[in-house]
């Protein structure tokens, strides 16, 4: 795989997100399709905090293919709509970090989508780590309230990369 030119990528022996998707480690997968998955993070930094990732191991935004990027942003928008309906927050933050200098902690491309906290914004300090049972409950609430199935994307002809 082509690596980015200048970014310092976090180094860890195994990719946590790949382990979650393979089932090697337990985690709450809100939904997935062939290209993207939405995970409920155990570190909730907002009210309803979901991660949208490509299923393929892609280190940063710079290595993603065009069809993955399109699927990711479609899913980010659907997650945001679901968070809006389910949690009714006055703001929804979307953020994404590339390289350790940008505070990327896991070397697998991910977008954060989170409803804002009471008082505004999201929490970038230490937050309590929820159990998977607790994040499963958050996923159930989001699935039940989502205006459309989050990972059911319309099939489109593949675009050239």
Given the rule CB under 5 A, which residues bind Zn ion?
A: 15, 17-18, 57, 108
Could you give the CA distance from residue 61 to residue 104 in angstroms, rounded to a whole number?
11
Nearer to Zn ion, 2 or 148 (CB): 2
* Cβ distance to Zn ion smaller for residue 18 or 153: 18
Q: Which is nearer to Zn ion, 63 or 74 (CB)?
A: 63
CB of 145 to Zn ion, least distance (A): 29
Q: Mark 46-70 as b/e (b = at least 16 C-beta within 10 Å).
A: bbbbbbbbbbbebbbbebbeebbbb
**Nearer Cβ to Zn ion (99/145):** 99
Q: How far apart are CA 148 and CA 161, in angstroms?
A: 28
User: Which is nearer to Zn ion, 57 or 143 (by Cβ)?
Assistant: 57
In the complex, minimum distance from the CB of residue 49 to Zn ion, in angstroms, rounded to a whole number: 19
The least CB distance from residue 159 to Zn ion, in Å, is 23
Q: Measured from the CB of residue 124, what is the shortest distance to Zn ion in angstroms?
A: 23
Closest approach of Zn ion to the CB of residue 18, in Å: 3
Residue nearest to Zn ion (CB): 15
């Amino acid at each position: 795989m082509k690596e980015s030119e200048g970014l310092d990528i976090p180094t860890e022996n195994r990719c946590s997100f790949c382990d979650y998707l393979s089932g090697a480690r337990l985690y709450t997968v809100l939904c997935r399709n062939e290209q993207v998955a939405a995970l409920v993070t155990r570190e909730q930094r907002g009210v309803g905090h979901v991660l949208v990732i490509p299923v393929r191991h892609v280190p940063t935004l710079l290595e993603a293919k065009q069809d993955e990027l399109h699927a990711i942003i479609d899913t980010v928008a659907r997650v945001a709509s679901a968070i809006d309906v389910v949690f009714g927050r006055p703001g929804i933050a979307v953020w994404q970090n590339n390289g350790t200098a940008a505070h990327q902690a896991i070397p697998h491309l991910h977008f954060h989508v989170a409803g804002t906290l009471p008082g505004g914004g999201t929490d970038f300090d230490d937050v309590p780590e929820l159990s998977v049972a607790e994040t499963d409950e958050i996923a159930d609430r989001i699935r039940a309230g989502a205006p459309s199935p989050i990972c059911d994307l319309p099939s489109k002809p593949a675009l050239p990369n």
